[in-house]
Amino acid sequence: MPLLKSWVASANDAAHPFPLNNLPYGVFSVDGDDPRCGVAIGDMILDMQAAEKAGLVRLGDAPLFDVPYWNDLMEEGPAVWAALRERLTALLSDGAAEQEKVEALLVSAVDAELHMPFAVSEYTDFYAGKNHAFNVGTMFRGPENALPPNWLHIPIGYNGRASSVVVSGTDVRRPWGQLKGPNDAAPRWAPCARFDIELEMGAIVGTPSDRPITVQEADDHIFGYVLLNDWSARDIQAWEYQPLGPFQAKATANSISPWIVTKAALEPFRCDTPEREVELLDHLKDCGPMLYDIDLEVTMAPDGKEATTIARTNYKEMYYSAAQQLAHHTTSGCPMNAGDLLGSGTISGPSKESRGSLLELSWGGKEPLTLDSGEERSFIADGDTLTLRGAAKGGGYTIGFGDCTGTVLAALENPYAR
């Protein structure tokens, strides 16, 4: 598909992340007004609440955009999702008859504050990138035992905290926790010293389910995607994770990008999952291209310093797709809700510079990174700003997500000091 032309001039730049081909969904406010739903088009945002009130968008008898989140639209299902995309494309295309009316409802993106684009119902994080799993397993168990026996058969995951999900730009406070080194006789209470990121994609469930669903059904149920940073306290995790897996180490924050890129916008960039080492059981088998060719990168900027790109990789490196993760999640009969968020797991490539976490990039702290400022990092220092970026490129246009950024603040004073 070529670049679609819009009467919004900035949307016609091949490098702009928000062309007419994209139309991502977010929530914004201006000058302290109440947050409301918006659609990004070039350097502008279309006020969906105003568009609905003006009769330019009408998808049913009841309003869908009188609330500051996109969950109500999600619950309407794929036919309504498609109808909205078709209507928005018509309103914003070059030569649209209603251009003058729509122009009056546009807001400059530079004047807008962005908020959480949807209400997160539940949050599940997976461990579904093979390169990441192999790297981490090698550090702790050696290459011969890097992948646990179940890893090539099912997408491993754990249920996290929906309350921990925050929008890009939200500061992240360094957590306290129990830490125990390999030579310590007992744990101690201290701020995390090995704070980390995980470069992930987040899939948003749009269609609820209350029964096991197939991989194809799961793909149909996905509403869209965001960038996701799973902030991780590695030293807290090392002490707590056996035998039930991550808990407090993963509960500090999970940052997401502010714009939901719909599955429809990503259709031209579909690609296959990697070749399987063992055959999957029937309920998890691939049924077509379920991944996406999305370039990803991470930058780190010390306080007051320029940013350094520390990693570049691609979403197509995942071993299990979001559709396979969702299908597996439902196998027990687990109900899934509109607004459920599924973290892909860390997306790492095969080379050192494509590793999606500092744990891997510094190889457990043994090989510190040197930033462009000359400073070294094994893990995140107070004041560091981490930014995730992602874009699918091809056909003369770019589909972007907006930055996913967070700055790490120093830990609070000991909350239990007497």
Cβ atoms within 10 Å of 103's Cβ, excluding its own: 13
Among this protein's residues, is 132 annotated catalytic?
Answer: yes
Catalytically annotated residue among 16, 132, 221, 329: 132
Rounded Cα–Cα distance for residues 198 and 140 (Å): 18
Q: CA nearest 347: which of 218, 169, 227?
A: 227
Instruction: Please list the helix, strand and coil fractions of the chain in percent, rounded to the nearest 5, in that order.
Output: 25, 30, 50
For residues 351-363, one letter each, b for 16 or more C-beta atoms within 10 angstroms of the residue's C-beta and e for the rest, the string is eeebbbbbbbbbb
Q: Which two tokens mark 277?
A: 């080492």
> Is-contact 39 49, C-beta < 8 A?
no
Q: How far apart are the first and last CA of the chain?
A: 64
415-to-103, 382, 411 alpha-carbon distances in Å = 51, 18, 10
Residue 48: C-alpha distances to residues 81, 227, 230, 329, 342 (Å): 14, 23, 30, 33, 26
| ∠ CA 381-383-388, rounded to 5° | 85
Residue (of 8, 114, 129) closest to 68 by Cα position = 114
The continuous run of DSSP H or E covering 119 comes out as none
Strands 172-173 and 404-409: parallel
Report, as residue numbers or ranges, the catalytic residues.
132
